[in-house]
């Protein structure tokens, strides 16, 4: 990560453009002289430094390794020698130059070193689509050759004017002719090969021909990753864009850990820093155009003859001491960082500077100016040669946004994922950093946490949701008490075996697994059809899935390195741990829970207390001044006595009710007596605790039967079953009934497989007792190997759940079916596997071979068992427990002080939970609820302390969710909700006041102004209405890309500032009786807020216009005319109609659309004076106020209409015409 809090940081080194290195949200670190570099390293490291190939290097090896400095230097120099003899284009006898001297079709057998670099280069050429291309050498050599004639440029003016010396010698005339010829070459080639316009793709025909020859696909052929040949004689290989990184990797391989290697601005670290801190590397800011010009002049004074200049290094060290840093990069074991810049070599032409870098796609040199990309820094979790190649590819893109678009996919779609990048252009400056959707930058999170005091948080339950919530709350300054009714922690989480889902994880990237948000969310929604999979909750689950996996990996060192594709999934995304050193399986749930508990005991003993054997019997609550309740603590039963424990927040993390006959009888009586995989502790107490205080329950009848609960042949009637992990079927296990026939795609959804067993399989017979329907699960030898032989041994030999069969005949005897039927079943399966599709079950994924000739088979009896309860307490995307609310703008509101996470909640999984989403849900929403509960004690009641517009008033806000604005209309609009810093905090705004919102996109700060639709006294959130089409402006780019957890900045601005107090409505010191609203498009936003405030007002005090209006036909106190260009611009139509229905004497709405849809029955066209007279208010009266909001042209037109109808200027407010109006009573 890029860490800008650099005070007191000790640097291990710097990265810059190789000496072969706009946004208001970007904060530069302190200048280099204020930071310490290599302090006390002499005590921790043996350091070797020097210069090789004109580039400085520094190598540090920990003193604990006992390696001597001369040994380190010998290793380093030996690698450099190998690199020069193999990969250097400057060494005439190097292996790469031998390749370049080959004739077309000649074959060269590569050395291991060249082979590794060439294979990697070929791979990067492909995945960057030619942005990195080592075969660009011919065109680069061409430009260098033409630029190597200094007289060509310096003589261009005199040659064009025809000037020559009288009586010149033949030699002089010959030289003059050569100069004129060179000038023509410059005109033909260089003028069309130099450009500052990214859209200008003009190059000469000769350059185009060279470009076609200078592409990997047309230049070289590699066979068997061992032999290389040229496809044409001019093909030339230049590996300088990757060789430096490879050399660093080679040195790292040969040195003991921990060590640090830096050469020419590229860095790799291995192992942990001996001091215990992370490794720190500073990124130097590239030189300005003025500095480059001065350095070119200095190079000329030192004897360099242009137009190609290598910037003089004579005073480099002195200048670098005061140069600015762009960032401080934090590196961990195995990380590499590489930097490419535009000013290693400078070509001067016609008063402009050009870089030595060529765009492989356009075949031209890059101009050094204010707008083009000046520096690309890439951090890679893997070999430095890949970081080197990616930074080279990025700088060749010229435009920062194009470089970002090229690099971003490699965060998740590459086996050596990019950990970070920084792209810099001088104008602004414009700086683009890797932005992971839904991740709040560390420094902003720390700043946000400064605004609240430490809270006391009680967590009920100690499964994964409970411990995740506790740790996150403690990290947010809370004092946490965990109450667990059992005598040990873990709950059902400790029994989990399948793993935890996550898309876009580092593990997926390293395994080249392609997965994305669309697939994950589609799979989750599709699995839950028939129940509620709330889009906001599923989006939060999806966005935070990779961060959750990485949190477990990085914070707790849990090795989630094995990834499987389970039933219902479109990709491999379920993470679990590999077998231990003995090859035995590692139950992932138990590993996670034991590791987290150990972390709490070791590092959180002063922040988190765990009390086992403590059952919560009641939630304590009190009624606030506004009549709403707040949870204040719990009643606890322990060792036969009861006591009360008070807290600022309570989190329910008690799990489901899979073993509770009471709730099951109440909601799913048909499942009474069905086996369960749950522990007997899964009694659903949290659901009952929440219900008692008014929590809304959803999907309580949605209970998942896992298709494969083991039937133990020695104890077949036991109601508690051991779970046959999903991975058994994911490894190739097939299901047959007692007739020996397959009947389902084993990798389909759990609900589908379960129903297929219930419909196609006979009941288990145990003597005179009849058990539930069951199937036989068969694993071939290859399936057993995929699943893991130690794991198979555990289930077969230790637990006795699998039985071994030598062949199909023996298997058929055990099953009790006809051998020929079973053989035909296995033969059909084998044939389906060969073509990749099963016509019977539509199965298309076949993990392992299985046929009628298979031997060494194992088989187990399995039966559907109650596994998970999808229903439970309703929560929002902030983990706040919801109660039912009668209202038009929302059916729920949060219960103050109460939060929930995990299986105790509902609304995430719908009718059927997707395998692997249980642990994920616990981790994601446990963390969300933990932080939200911990930040409840805000130091300020309102988010905005100063509601006047000031630059210092910009505060960071976290995105909660994005929602549609209407079921039928409003396709161009979205409601965007942000968390206030605390769940009980208000915005501090007035009714009608708008806010500024800004964020970064591609290194630019985009800003917009929006009217909240939430009321000023709404707790914990602020919502805005925005357009998401082209009419919404540049900031729509951010709205389309941000995800739950993302950060934007918000500021209180101007606006209407309407006051509702003491039964009166006032504006600008004047009492208001009637309000008319004229809204155009998304100008409906402030009107929604006014309608909400007015609705509350008349509930309490009645309609202020009812008793005072003198108009005989208009008794409404609030009237709205809503105009839009088309129906896709409308929003909240259903809500508005419902308000009018419920308040017929107080509110009415009239809608006009210029381009109406089919079947439209309301107004058509633009708002006319007659519309105002009929549907708004007329004639104007003393207590009238008309609010106008829409595009400026709309506001202007409406003002003209009001003037024409006799309204006075003080009787209207136009958002476009007035910026800030103070509201005074």
**Nearest to 648, CA basis, from 875, 479, 874:** 479
For residue 892, give the 3-state DSSP assignment: strand
d(CA 288, CA 294): 10
End-to-end CA, the chain: 50
**Contact of 142 with 214, CB cutoff 8 Å:** no
d(CA 906, CA 899): 13
For residue 971, give the 3-state DSSP assignment: coil
d(CA 615, CA 613): 6
**Nearest to 649, CA basis, from 626, 631, 635:** 631
Helices (H), 954-1012: none
Residue matched to tokens 């089409």: 1029
d(CA 514, CA 411): 11
Helix, strand, coil percentages (3-state) for the chain, rounded to 5, are 35, 25, 40
Q: What are phi and psi of 1002, to 5 degrees?
A: 55, 40
**Nearest to 1116, CA basis, from 1102, 1130, 1096, 1137:** 1102
3-state secondary structure 698-761: ECCCCEEEEEEEECCCCCCCCCECCECCHHHHHCCCEEECCCCCCCCCCCCCHHHHHHHHHHHC
1136 token code pair: 């508005």
- The CA radius of gyration of the chain, in Å to the nearest whole number, is 35
For residue 993, give the 3-state DSSP assignment: strand
987 conformational bin, left if phi > 0, alpha if psi -120 to 50, beta if neither: alpha
Q: Which of 706, 742, 893, 1043 is catalytic?
A: 706
**Contact of 50 with 58, CB cutoff 8 Å:** no
Q: Is 706 one of the catalytic residues?
A: yes
For residue 328, give the 3-state DSSP assignment: strand
For residue 386, whether the previous peptide bond is cis, meaning omega lies within 30 degrees of 0, is no
**Nearest to 431, CA basis, from 380, 377, 392, 387:** 377
What residues form DSSP beta bridges with 107? Answer: 229
Helices (H), 364-459: 384-395, 400-407, 442-449
The contacts of residue 247 (CB under 8 Å, 6+ apart) are 79, 80, 83, 87, 263
d(CA 830, CA 155): 78
Q: Which of 729, 913, 1057, 1092 is catalytic?
A: 729
CA 807 to mean position of chain CA atoms: 49
d(CA 660, CA 684): 7
455 token code pair: 């809270």
The contacts of residue 77 (CB under 8 Å, 6+ apart) are 52
d(CA 411, CA 282): 22
d(CA 1082, CA 374): 40
Give the DSSP letter string of 634-677: EEEEETTEEEEEE-SEEEE-----TT-HHHHHHH-GGGTT--B-
Distances (CA, A) of 494 to 465, 568, 590: 11, 23, 4
Q: Strand pairing of 430-433 and 1212-1214?
A: unpaired
**Nearest to 392, CA basis, from 713, 159, 120, 704:** 120
* Residues with catalytic function: 706, 729
């Amino acid at each position: 990560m890029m860490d800008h809090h650099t005070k007191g940081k000790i640097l291990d080194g710097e990265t810059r453009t190789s000496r072969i290195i706009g946004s208001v949200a970007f904060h530069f670190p302190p200048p280099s002289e204020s930071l310490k570099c290599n302090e006390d390293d002499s005590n921790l490291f043996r350091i070797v430094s020097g210069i090789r190939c004109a580039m400085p290097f520094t190598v540090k090896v920990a003193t604990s390794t006992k390696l001597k400095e001369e040994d380190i230097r010998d290793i380093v120099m030996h690698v450099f020698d190998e690199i020069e003899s193999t990969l250097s284009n400057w060494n005439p006898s190097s292996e790469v130059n031998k390749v370049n001297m080959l004739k077309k079709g000649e074959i060269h057998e590569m050395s291991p070193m060249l082979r590794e670099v060439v294979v990697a280069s070929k791979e990067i050429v492909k995945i960057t689509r030619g942005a990195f291309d080592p075969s660009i050498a011919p065109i680069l050599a061409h430009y260098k050759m033409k630029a190597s004639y200094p007289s060509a440029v310096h003589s261009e003016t005199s040659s064009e004017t025809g000037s020559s010396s009288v009586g010149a010698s033949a030699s002089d005339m010959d030289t003059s002719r050569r100069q004129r010829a060179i000038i023509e070459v410059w005109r033909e080639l260089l003028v069309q090969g130099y450009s500052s316009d990214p859209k200008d793709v003009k190059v000469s025909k000769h350059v185009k021909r060279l470009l076609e020859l200078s592409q990997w696909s047309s230049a070289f052929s590699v066979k068997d990753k061992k032999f290389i040949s040229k496809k044409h004689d001019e093909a030339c290989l230049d590996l300088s864009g990757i060789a430096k990184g490879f050399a660093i990797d080679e040195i790292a391989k040969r040195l003991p850990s921990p060590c640090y290697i830096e050469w020419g601005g590229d860095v790799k670290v291995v192992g942990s820093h001996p001091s215990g801190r992370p490794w720190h590397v500073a990124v130097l800011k590239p030189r300005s155009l003025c500095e480059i010009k001065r350095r070119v002049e200095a190079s000329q004074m030192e004897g360099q003859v242009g137009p190609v200049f290598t910037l003089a290094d004579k005073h480099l060290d002195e200048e670098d001491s005061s140069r600015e840093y762009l960032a401080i990069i934090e590196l961990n074991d195995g990380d590499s960082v590489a930097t490419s810049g535009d000013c290693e070599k400078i070509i001067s032409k016609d008063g402009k500077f050009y870089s030595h870098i060529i765009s492989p796609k356009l075949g031209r040199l890059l101009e050094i100016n204010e707008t083009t990309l000046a520096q690309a820094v890439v951090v890679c979790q893997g070999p430095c040669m890949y970081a080197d190649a990616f930074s080279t590819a990025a700088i060749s893109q010229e435009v920062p946004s194009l470089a970002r678009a090229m690099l971003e996919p490699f965060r998740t779609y590459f086996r050596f994922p990019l950990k970070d990048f920084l792209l810099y252009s001088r104008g602004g400056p414009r700086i683009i950093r890797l932005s992971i959707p839904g991740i709040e930058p560390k420094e902003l999170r720390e700043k946000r946490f400064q605004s609240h005091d430490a809270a006391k948080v009680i967590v009920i339950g100690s499964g994964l949701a409970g411990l995740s919530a506790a740790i996150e709350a403690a990290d947010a300054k809370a004092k946490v008490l965990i109450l667990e009714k059992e005598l040990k922690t873990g709950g059902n989480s400790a029994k989990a075996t399948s793993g935890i889902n996550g898309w876009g994880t580092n593990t997926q990237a390293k395994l080249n697994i392609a997965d994305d948000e669309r697939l994950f969310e589609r799979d989750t929604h599709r699995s839950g059809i028939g129940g509620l999979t709330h889009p906001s909750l599923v989006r939060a689950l999806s966005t935070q899935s990779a961060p959750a996996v990485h949190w477990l990996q990085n914070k707790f060192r849990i090795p989630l390195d094995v990834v499987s594709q389970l039933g219902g999934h479109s990709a491999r995304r379920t993470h679990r741990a590999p077998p231990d050193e003995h090859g035995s399986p590692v139950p992932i749930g138990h590993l996670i829970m034991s590791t987290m508990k150990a972390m709490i005991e070791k590092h959180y003993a002063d922040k988190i207390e765990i009390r086992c054997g403590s059952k919560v019997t009641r939630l304590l609550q009190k009624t606030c001044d506004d009549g709403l309740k707040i949870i204040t603590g719990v009643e606890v039963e322990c060792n036969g006595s009861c006591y009360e424990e008070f807290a600022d927040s309570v989190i329910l993390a008690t799990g489901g009710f899979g073993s509770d006959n009471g709730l099951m009888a109440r909601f799913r009586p048909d499942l009474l007596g069905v086996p369960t995989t749950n522990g007997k502790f899964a009694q659903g107490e949290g659901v009952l605790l929440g219900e008692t205080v008014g929590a809304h329950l959803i999907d309580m009848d949605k209970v998942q039967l896992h298709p494969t609960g083991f039937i133990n042949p020695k104890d077949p009637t036991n109601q508690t079953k051991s779970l046959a992990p999903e991975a058994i079927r994911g490894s190739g296990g097939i299901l047959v009934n007692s007739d020996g026939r397959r009947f389902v795609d084993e990798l389909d959804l759990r609900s589908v497989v379960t129903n297929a067993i219930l419909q196609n399989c006979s009941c288990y017979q145990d003597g005179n007792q009849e058990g539930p329907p069951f199937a036989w699960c068969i694993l071939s030898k290859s399936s057993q190997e995929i699943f893991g032989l130690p794991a198979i041994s555990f289930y077969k030999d230790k637990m006795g759940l699998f039985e071994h069969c030598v062949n199909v005949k023996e298997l058929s005897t055990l099953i009790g079916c006809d051998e020929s039927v079973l053989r035909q079943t296995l033969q059909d399966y084998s044939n389906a596997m060969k073509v990749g599709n099963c016509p019977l079950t539509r199965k298309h994924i076949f993990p392992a071979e299985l046929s009628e000739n298979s031997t060494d088979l194992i088989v187990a009896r399995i039966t559907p068992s109650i596994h998970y309860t999808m229903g439970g307490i309703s929560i929002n995307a902030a983990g706040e427990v919801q109660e039912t609310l009668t209202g038009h703008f929302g059916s729920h509101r949060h219960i103050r002080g109460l939060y929930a996470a995990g299986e105790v909640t509902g609304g995430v999984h719908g009718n059927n939970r997707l395998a692997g989403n249980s642990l994920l849900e616990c981790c994601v929403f446990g963390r969300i609820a933990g932080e939200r509960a911990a930040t409840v004690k805000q130091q300020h009641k309102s988010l905005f302390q100063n509601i006047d517009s000031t630059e210092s008033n910009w505060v960071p806000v976290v995105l909660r969710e994005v929602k549609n604005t209407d079921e039928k209309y409003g396709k161009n609009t979205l409601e965007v909700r942000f968390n206030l810093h605390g769940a009980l905090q208000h915005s501090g705004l007035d009714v009608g006041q708008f806010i500024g919102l800004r964020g970064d996109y591609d290194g630019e700060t985009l800003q917009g102004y929006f009217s909240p639709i939430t009321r000023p006294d709404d707790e914990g959130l602020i919502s805005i209405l925005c357009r998401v089409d082209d009419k919404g402006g540049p900031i729509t780019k951010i709205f389309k890309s941000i995800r739950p957890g993302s950060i934007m900045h918000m500021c209180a601005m101007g606006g209407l500032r309407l006051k509702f107090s003491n039964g009166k409505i006032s504006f600008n010191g004047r009492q208001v009786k009637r309000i008319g609203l004229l809204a155009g498009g998304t100008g409906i936003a402030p009107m929604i807020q006014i309608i909400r405030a007015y609705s509350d007002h008349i509930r309490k005090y009645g309609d202020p216009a009812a008793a005072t209006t003198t108009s005989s036909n208009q008794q409404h106190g609030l009237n709205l005319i809503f105009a839009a260009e088309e129906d896709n611009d409308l929003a909240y139509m259903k809500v508005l109609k419902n308000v009018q229905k419920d308040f017929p004497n107080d509110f009415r709405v009239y809608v006009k659309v210029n381009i109406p849809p089919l079947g439209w029955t309301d107004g058509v066209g633009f708002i006319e004076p007659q519309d105002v007279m009929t549907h708004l208010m007329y004639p104007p009266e003393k207590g009238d106020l008309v609010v106008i909001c829409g595009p400026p042209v709309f506001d202007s037109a409406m003002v003209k209409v009001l003037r024409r109808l006799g309204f006075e200027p003080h009787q209207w407010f136009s958002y476009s015409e007035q910026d800030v109006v103070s509201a005074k009573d």
